Structure 1
Amino acid sequence: MSSFGASMETSPRPMNTVVDVAILQKLAHKDIVALLQKCQGDKALVWDRALANPMNLILKHSDLKEQGVVRMLSLEQGQIPSTDMPETIIFICRPLVHLMKLVESAIRKEESARRRKRFHLFFLPRSSTLCVKWLEDQGVISSLQSVEELPIFLFPLDKDVISMEQEYAFKDFKLDVDPTGLYHVAKAIVYLQKTYGVPSRVFGLGHAAKQVHELIHSVKLESGAFKPQVSGTTIDCLFLIDREVDLLSPVVTQLTYEGLIDEFYGINNNQVKFPEEKFGEAKTMLLNSTENLYVELRDKNFSAIGGVLRSKTAEIQEIFRQKERGEMTMGEMKRLVQQLPAVNALKQSLSDHTSVAELIKAKTETEEFLSSLECEQELLSGIDTEKLNTHIEYLCGKKAPLNTVLRLLVIQSITSGGLKVKIMQHYERLLIQNYGFEHFLTIQKLYQLGLLRSQSSAQATGSRYSVLKRALQLFRNDVSEIKPDDFTYVHSIYAPLSIRLIQHRLRPPLWATLKDSIQTLLQKPVIDEESEIPPIGGNLSSAKRQPKFIIVVFIGGCTFAEISALRFLAQQDDEREFLVVTSKIINGNSFLNSLLEP
Structure 2
Amino acid sequence: MDIKTLTKQKIITEVIKHGHSKDEWRVMIIDEYTASIITNVFTISEILSYNIISLIRIEEKEKPNLKEFSVIYFVKITETSIKSIKKDFKKKSFKSFYVITANEITSNQLNKIDLVGPPEISIKQLNFGFVPYESRVFIVKDNLFDGIKSFSNIFDINFNVCYTNDLTKDIAFTLNDYFEIQKKKNYGNLIILDRSVDLYTPLLHYYTFQAILHDFKFLVDNFYIEKEIHFEESDKLWTSIRHGHIAEINNILSEKAKILVSGIKKLEKDIDIKDLAKIVAETPENLKLKSEVEMFLELLDKSITKFELDNLPLVSDLEQSISTRYTKSGNKYREAINDFFDILKNPEIRKHDKLRLYLLLLVSKYTLEKNEEQHIIDKGWLSKSEINLKNKIKKMTEYFIIRKELNREIKYDISRYQPILKDILYSFHEKKKCFINIIGCKEDSATEEVSLRQGGFVFKSNNGDSTKKKKVIVVYFIGGVTFAEIAIAYDVSSKLGIEIIVGSDQILTPESFLDNINKK
Could you say whether these structures have the same fold, taking a TM-score greater than 0.5 normalized by the shorter chain as the test? yes
Match of 2:129 in 1: 153
Select which of 133, 140, 164 maps to 1:166.
140
Select which of 39, 44, 60 maps to 1:56.
39
Q: Residue 436 and residue 142 in structure 1: after superposition, are their counterparts in 2 closer, same or farther (change >3 A)?
A: farther
Secondary structure of 1:527's partner? coil
Select which of 567, 577, 581 maps to 2:498.
577
Aligned 8 A contact 2:243 2:487 in 1? yes
Structure 2 residue 481 is matched with structure 1 residue 558: yes
Match of 1:410 in 2: 359
Structure 2 residue 223 is matched with structure 1 residue 272: yes
Separation of aligned partners in 1, 2:488 and 2:281: 36
Secondary structure of 2:404's partner? helix
Separation of aligned partners in 2, 1:430 and 1:116: 68
Q: Residue 428 and residue 207 in structure 1: after superposition, are their counterparts in 2 closer, same or farther (change >3 A)?
A: farther
Once the two structures are superposed, the pairs formed by residues 214-225 of structure 1 within 5 Å of their partners are 214-220=173-179, 224-225=182-183
Select which of 246, 250, 253 maps to 2:202.
250
Separation of aligned partners in 1, 2:153 and 2:199: 26
Q: What amino acid sits opposite 2:206 in the alignment?
A: Q
Q: Residue 238 and residue 150 in structure 1: after superposition, are their counterparts in 2 closer, same or farther (change >3 A)?
A: closer
Query: What TM-score do you get using the length of structure 2 for normalisation?
Result: 0.73
Separation of aligned partners in 1, 2:296 and 2:219: 15
Aligned 8 A contact 1:547 1:576 in 2? no
Structure 2 residue 262 is matched with structure 1 residue 318: yes
How far residue 202 of structure 1 moved from its aligned partner, in angstroms, is 6.0
Aligned 8 A contact 1:44 1:85 in 2? no
Match of 2:389 in 1: 443
Q: What amino acid sits opposite 1:480 in the alignment?
A: K
Point out where structure 2 has 5 or more consecutive residues left out of the alignment: 326-332, 453-460
- Cα displacement string for residues 422-471 of structure 1 (whole angstroms, at most 9, x for unaligned residues): 3895499579996686x79x938844860xx5xxxx7xx9x942xx131x
Secondary structure of 2:441's partner? strand
Aligned 8 A contact 1:250 1:591 in 2? yes
Secondary structure of 1:307's partner? helix
Q: Residue 518 and residue 80 in structure 1: after superposition, are their counterparts in 2 closer, same or farther (change >3 A)?
A: closer
Match of 2:297 in 1: 354
How far residue 496 of structure 1 moved from its aligned partner, in angstroms, is 0.6
Q: What amino acid sits opposite 2:14 in the alignment?
A: D
Separation of aligned partners in 2, 1:464 and 1:236: 27
Equivalent pairs counted in the alignment come to 489
Match of 2:455 in 1: none
How far residue 495 of structure 1 moved from its aligned partner, in angstroms, is 0.7
Select which of 236, 239, 243 maps to 1:295.
239
Secondary structure of 1:26's partner? helix
How far residue 257 of structure 1 moved from its aligned partner, in angstroms, is 1.0
How far residue 492 of structure 1 moved from its aligned partner, in angstroms, is 1.7
Match of 2:61 in 1: 80
Match of 1:261 in 2: 213
Q: What amino acid sits opposite 1:528 in the alignment?
A: C
Q: Residue 254 and residue 469 in structure 1: after superposition, are their counterparts in 2 closer, same or farther (change >3 A)?
A: same
Separation of aligned partners in 1, 2:255 and 2:382: 48
CA RMSD of aligned residues (A): 5.0
Match of 2:340 in 1: 389
Match of 1:493 in 2: 416
- Cα displacement string for residues 281-340 of structure 1 (whole angstroms, at most 9, x for unaligned residues): xx12232331222222112110111122222212321232132122x5665445434433
How far residue 147 of structure 1 moved from its aligned partner, in angstroms, is 9.1
Structure 2 residue 518 is matched with structure 1 residue 587: no
Structure 2 residue 367 is matched with structure 1 residue 419: yes
Match of 1:33 in 2: 16
Q: Residue 343 and residue 56 in structure 1: after superposition, are their counterparts in 2 closer, same or farther (change >3 A)?
A: same
How far residue 265 of structure 1 moved from its aligned partner, in angstroms, is 2.3
Separation of aligned partners in 1, 2:84 and 2:378: 44
How far residue 376 of structure 1 moved from its aligned partner, in angstroms, is 1.6
Aligned 8 A contact 1:236 1:548 in 2? no
Separation of aligned partners in 2, 1:59 and 1:544: 29
Q: Residue 562 and residue 338 in structure 1: after superposition, are their counterparts in 2 closer, same or farther (change >3 A)?
A: same
Q: What amino acid sits opposite 1:31 in the alignment?
A: E
Q: What amino acid sits opposite 1:407 in the alignment?
A: R
Separation of aligned partners in 1, 2:369 and 2:264: 66
Q: What amino acid sits opposite 1:189 in the alignment?
A: S
Q: Residue 527 and residue 225 in structure 1: after superposition, are their counterparts in 2 closer, same or farther (change >3 A)?
A: closer
Secondary structure of 1:526's partner? coil
How far residue 268 of structure 1 moved from its aligned partner, in angstroms, is 4.5
Moved more, 354-363 or 379-388: 379-388
Aligned 8 A contact 1:190 1:220 in 2? no
Aligned 8 A contact 2:188 2:444 in 1? no
Separation of aligned partners in 2, 1:518 and 1:591: 22
Secondary structure of 2:244's partner? coil
Separation of aligned partners in 1, 2:382 and 2:113: 47
Secondary structure of 2:410's partner? coil
Match of 1:7 in 2: none
How far residue 162 of structure 1 moved from its aligned partner, in angstroms, is 2.9
How far residue 94 of structure 1 moved from its aligned partner, in angstroms, is 6.2
Structure 2 residue 31 is matched with structure 1 residue 47: yes
Match of 1:173 in 2: none
Q: What amino acid sits opposite 1:537 in the alignment?
A: V
- Cα displacement string for residues 216-249 of structure 1 (whole angstroms, at most 9, x for unaligned residues): 3333356x43445xxxxxx675544443312221
Match of 2:330 in 1: none
Aligned 8 A contact 2:322 2:360 in 1? yes
Q: What amino acid sits opposite 2:261 in the alignment?
A: Q
Separation of aligned partners in 2, 1:242 and 1:264: 26
Query: What TM-score do you get using the length of structure 1 for normalisation?
Result: 0.65
Match of 2:329 in 1: none
Q: What amino acid sits opposite 1:588 in the alignment?
A: P
Match of 1:480 in 2: 411
Aligned 8 A contact 1:553 1:580 in 2? yes
Separation of aligned partners in 2, 1:529 and 1:570: 20
Q: What amino acid sits opposite 2:164 in the alignment?
A: L
Separation of aligned partners in 1, 2:258 and 2:339: 50
Q: Residue 288 and residue 500 in structure 1: after superposition, are their counterparts in 2 closer, same or farther (change >3 A)?
A: farther
Q: Residue 141 and residue 320 in structure 1: after superposition, are their counterparts in 2 closer, same or farther (change >3 A)?
A: closer
Separation of aligned partners in 1, 2:16 and 2:351: 44
Secondary structure of 2:285's partner? helix
| Larger proportion of helix | 1
Match of 1:336 in 2: 279
Secondary structure of 1:528's partner? coil
How far residue 85 of structure 1 moved from its aligned partner, in angstroms, is 6.4
Secondary structure of 2:427's partner? helix
Q: What amino acid sits opposite 1:295 in the alignment?
A: T
Separation of aligned partners in 2, 1:117 and 1:427: 68
How far residue 44 of structure 1 moved from its aligned partner, in angstroms, is 7.7
Point out where structure 1 has 5 or more consecutive residues left out of the alignment: 1-15, 170-179, 229-234, 276-282, 482-488, 520-524
Aligned 8 A contact 1:399 1:435 in 2? no
Match of 2:252 in 1: 308
Separation of aligned partners in 2, 1:143 and 1:369: 61
Match of 1:469 in 2: 404
